[in-house]
Chains A and B, each alone.
Chain A
Amino acid sequence: MKNYIKYIGILALGMVACEPEFENPVDDIDAYSSGEADFSNYVALGNSLTAGYADNALYITGQQNSYPNILAQQFAKVQETQDFDQPLMADNAGGLLFNGTPIANTRLVLGIGESGTSPRNYTGSQPTTEVTNKLSGSFNNMGVPGAKSFHLIAPGYGNPAGVLTGASNPYFARFASTENATVLADAVAQNPTFFTLWIGNNDVLSFATSGGLGVYQEDPTVELSAYGSNDITNPQVFAGVYSTLVDLMMSAGAEEGVLLNIPDVTNIPFFTTVPNNALELSAEQAAGLTGYFQAVAGIFTQFLMSQQVPAEQAQAIASQYAITFNEGKNRFIIDVPETQTNPLGFRQMTEEELLLLTINQSALREQGYGSAAITPQVMEVLGMLQAGQQPSPEQAQLVLDAVNGIDDGDALDASELNDINTARTQYNQTIKQLADANGLAFVDAAAMLEQTATTGVNYDAGVLTSTFGSGGAFSLDGVHLTPRGYALVANRIIEAVNDKYNATVPTVNIGYYGTITPSND
């Protein structure tokens, strides 16, 4: 009797330990192969895109969904890997404090109120990430928001003393090993076995997001110290820096890795969301605006003739200002430098020119920004002109001053776009060539974002696109990706790695990664 009970007791204990087992468990260490790659100590080098920056801020959940962190989790399913450490922020509000003073805003969230739906800064809690609280240890994710290519090799880029003057970077200041450390040296010191490098975006992007307020450094001999923050890095300088980055990472032990190229700014919602032809007019408004610009041309003709310009030539110059507007959509007026051929310094935008997401859209809609700010006084003068009366010089000036073209900093004009693309194309040639020369995997991030901007990318719950707000790929700042967008980057990297190194790293399902964050807090 007792024996039976004992027997059943032992049996029962045995049950507890029994677990269902698959024939081919995917969590077996040999379920997947790393091929010729060694993921045991992966270090990611890059900028905000690598850090997991989104919604114009760095915050914990964004970092957890950074593509390097997603990659590291997948790599860990393939071989024994070291922990992947990231310099996590202190909160999910985003924003930075420097000695207690806020120096960066909280993340953008999608607010929904009576006045509509729009991105705005999260106010549910205050930033708590203090730049001067130095994080200890080394970090596999060496993505530094704001970094340009050459910043990765700039000593002192993480020196807290330079943060407020802009001489150094607050994000790197949180975890730089020493005041004089470089991002690259801190990466190399970790003895990486594998690396990803996605750098160069900011070398054109800061110029682009400033509306082209910097200059394109076409002379390779210009010292980096002479560069303005919104300048386009010289492509030869970029090539030199980039090659240093690759060489030093590889000689540090990361013989396998992935290089990612630089996407086209014209595929980013920051530049594609506000159309350049959003000047929507009724037939009456179109006629009124056309009449106004005819008046501008007329007044300017008079002015030129009064300056002894022959009538025919005066009309030829002034006629460019007699811009015709039609019922429906019209392209905006943009301010350009005053030149001999365009002495008033404005024209209608061309088809390819772009407006920035940050432009004052209510001014576009309500204040004649991008066309003309026609006040009652201006109307009065226009009435005089119609009645055949001659306005005074002051009154004529009033009409000319009402032209309200879009500021340089709110748009990318054709020449600025040309500069961006010239530099970017050369950067990308460098990146591809160095990938090939060093036997590294290559991800065409430009093609990837072109795809999300055009056809979109199918996944199990729909199509991922670049449409601002609803497309799913881009966060609320219109420049950085969402977790779902970063998951797509991770998948493209995995595919490139599998292809290059005969590995079988499993991809992720991007449908499990979130997009933008709605919040009324």
Chain B
Amino acid sequence: MVFVLAGTITYAGGYRVGVQGQRALAMGHTGVAVVNSAELGFFNPAGLVYLENQLTISAGVSAVFSEVAWQNESTGATARTDNPAGTPFYFNASYKLNENLALGLSIYTPYGSTVEWEDDWAGSHLVNNIKLQAIYIQPLVSYKIADFVSVGGGPIFVTGSVNFNRNLSRTLTNIDGERSNVTIDASGVNEWGWSAGALFTPTEDLRVGVNYRSEIIMNAEGGDADFENIPNTPLAPFSDTTFDAQLPLPAELTVGLSYELNEKWLLAFDFNRTYWGVYESLDIKFANGVVSENPRGYEDANTWRFGAQYIATDKLTLRAGYYLDQSPVQPGYFAPETPRNDSMGFTGGLSLNVTSRLAIDASFAYIRFDEVDASYDHYIDENGQNVPFGGTYKSVAFIPGLGVTYKL
């Protein structure tokens, strides 16, 4: 259905994209301890075995409208991104073999980023545009060990791509003044990882969940590096070549709980810790031996998520949530390719039961970023000088999404 839309987006810390289920997103993207739909395949596969129906499918897609503005008060320079709408999607299926065992398949896009600045803007020596994409495909097993505890997990196959363009310096041009730039492009980068979770049900109303998704280092080998507008001089020895680079998709640990107040109300809380510390530097090794080092200095970052669900009628369920997302980007490392400071998410949504088997799930998220004065202080120019790039950034993101849940 929506796979052809496979797009990517930017929001949430770093290039993490927390849009892996409309029901969960509507509740602040909580879900490690919420048994609600096959979205559990992503949030905590241990819970799949608790789904009531033999077959449950949850699938959906969101449209992410995310823009960033930049300005520098001392020069009066301004720039805005013109990002295409991202379309992260998910597909989760769970099949119950017996009361204690369920199998599942999940496909989702937890990491990605598309940022398109105006070409040759003031930060173009850092990035003109970037598009990262990673699709996770994961078979799952969920097993109930005892009435109060289940476990689940499975291997993850990731296929990803990257396309990144930037100018070679702040001033290098060809004879006609067109800026010299490089595009690196790699696709079909495949790697493996895994995730596993556990779900405890100490009382009838309370569930406690834990889930861990492993780090996956995407190794782009032999990607294409395309140099444009290079002046004909030995001082600018750039020609098309290939490159190797590594991009980490960091591990994520989630713990959380859900509590059923009564038949109508459910409350949920998730805590995520994303191990961004692995992203120290983006090093691009060109085949000619030149290495472009781009320190990132990310640090592990936390997200606190709160959600509530209210079953209004047989047909209609309403949801709302909030989260606080800590940025992994540290002061002095604020690169405009992932211009993310701390943010807050306000979410809402509903499910409409069209039939007893089919429900439409809708969600909406507004991500609020504070205006921030920030800089990237680790750019080394062509003369070996360290040249900071800074200014004031302001981002916003809106994410409406639609999905379906099908039960058999």
User: Which A residues have a C-beta under 8 Å from some C-beta of B?
Assistant: 1, 4, 8, 11-12, 14-16, 18-27, 31-32, 60-61, 64, 74, 77-78, 92-93, 109-110, 112, 122, 124, 460-462, 506-509, 511-515, 517-521
Contact = CB atoms under 8 A, between A and B. Distances in A.
Contacts of B387: 460-461, 511
Interface string B35-47: 0000000000000
A76 to B, nearest CB: 9
Given A517-B175, A521-B175, A19 B360 contact: no
B374 interface: no
Interface stretch (B69-77, B132-140, B247-255): B69-77
22 contacts: A1-B352, A4-B350, A4-B360, A18-B396, A19-B69, A21-B69, A22-B71, A22-B392, A25-B71, A25-B78, A26-B73, A26-B78, A61-B176, A64-B177, A77-B76, A112-B233, A124-B175, A507-B74, A512-B170, A518-B236, A519-B232, A520-B233
A74 B74 CA distance: 11
Given A19-B67, A460-B388, A508-B75, A520 B175 contact: no
Among A60, A509, A515, A520, max chain B CB count under 10 A is at A509
B308 interface: no
Nearest to B391: A26
B146 interface: no
Among A20, A27, A511, max chain B CB count under 10 A is at A20
A519 B235 CA distance: 9
Contacts of B63: 12, 15
A16 B86 CA distance: 12
Nearest to B85: A16
A519 B175 contact: yes
B400 A12 contact: yes
A498 to B, nearest CB: 12
Contacts of A60: 176-177
Interface string B376-408: 000001010101100010111010101000000
A11 B371 CA distance: 24
Contact of B73 (A460, A506, A509, A521): A506
The DSSP consensus for interface residues of chain A is loop
A461 B383 contact: yes
Nearest to B354: A1
Nearest to A31: B76
Contacts of A462: 383, 385
Contact of B235 (A22, A92, A112): A112
Given A15-B400, A27-B78, A519 B231 contact: yes
A509 B364 contact: no
Nearest to A506: B76
B177 A506 contact: no
A122 to B, nearest CB: 7
B373 to A, nearest CB: 11
Contact of B65 (A16, A27, A74, A109): A16
B273 interface: no
A118 B381 CA distance: 24
B76 A26 contact: yes
Contacts of A74: 76
Contact of A18 (B173, B352, B369, B398): B398
Interface in B342-378: 350, 352, 354, 360, 362, 364, 369, 371
Nearest to B394: A20
Nearest to B316: A4
A517 B396 contact: no
B122 interface: yes
A509 B387 CA distance: 12
A16 B66 CA distance: 9
Contact of B362 (A8, A64, A124): A8
Given A8-B400, A15-B400, A512-B122, 11 more contacts: A1-B360, A4-B350, A8-B362, A19-B80, A31-B76, A60-B177, A112-B234, A460-B388, A508-B75, A511-B170, A520-B233
B241 interface: no
A514 B229 CA distance: 15
Nearest to A107: B175
Nearest to A518: B233
Contact of B177 (A24, A92, A461): A92
Given A4-B350, A27-B78, A515 B71 contact: no
B68 interface: yes
B73 A20 contact: no
Among A24, A461, A515, max chain B CB count under 10 A is at A461
A517 B235 CA distance: 10
Contacts of A515: 171
B233 A519 contact: yes
B371 to A, nearest CB: 6
Contacts of B74: 506-507, 509
B302 to A, nearest CB: 24
Interface in B241-292: none
Contacts of A64: 177
Nearest to A514: B171
Contacts of B352: 1, 4
